[in-house]
Structure 1
Amino acid sequence: MNQVKGWRLKLDPDGGVEDATLLILEWLGEQGVGAMLRVDAERMREGQPAWTFAASGGPLPEGMRADGGSVAECMGRALLKLREAGLAVPF
């Protein structure tokens, strides 16, 4: 299986947190943090916040979760919690 080495996503300076989400996930992985972003179709149909960010491990003292009605809302809340936990996310 061929693997691409040294690839990096480029950040769009005019985009929002949605554009930086993959960069954030990649950076967290490099710090030893396991993280995921999930959308729940059932919660979406019910009009509840459907997006969930979860992270644990590495320098995080305990696991964390953030929910939101959109990717931007979810990731905005996640970034606040990550920074409160002492991770200086560079995006």
Structure 2
Amino acid sequence: MTGNPGRWPRIDQDGGIEDVTLLILEWLGEQGVNAMIRVDAERVADNAPAWTFAASGGPLEHGIRADGRTVQQCMSTALSQLREAGLSVPF
């Protein structure tokens, strides 16, 4: 970690989406979708939504972008958008 106390990850015992994020990315790749998740250190420092998910290609007619303050928030929004776009993500 960065050595900043208080920046240790907090695990949401009820959510669990953090646990399957890499599986979701792998599944999307198998569907021909280019996808990534990233964190922006400048936005962390500014206390802005620092996590970004982006996906395009394959069966997606348009690209998708979702931002969030946490991985869970970001990926929850991303899954909702992927399902609206017609992808039945099995997670």
Q: TM-score range by the shorter chain?
A: 0.7 to 0.9
8 Å contact kept, 2:15–2:72: no
Q: Amino acid of the residue matched to residue 22 of structure 1?
A: L
**Aligned residues between the structures:** 78
Structure 2: where are the runs of 5+ without partners? 1-13
Structure 1: where are the runs of 5+ without partners? 1-13
Q: Give the TM-score taking structure 1 as reference length.
A: 0.83
Partner of 2:89 in structure 1?
Answer: 89
* Aligned-pair Cα RMSD in Å: 1.1
The offset of 1:15, in angstroms, is 6.4
Partner of 1:78 in structure 2?
Answer: 78
Decide which moves more: 25-34 or 14-23.
14-23
Q: Give the TM-score taking structure 2 as reference length.
A: 0.83
Partner of 1:25 in structure 2?
Answer: 25
8 Å contact kept, 2:66–2:74: yes
Identity of aligned residues (%): 73
Partner of 2:57 in structure 1?
Answer: 57
The offset of 1:42, in angstroms, is 0.1
For residue 55 of structure 1, give the secondary structure of its aligned residue in structure 2.
Answer: strand
CA distance in 2, matches of 1:46, 1:77: 21
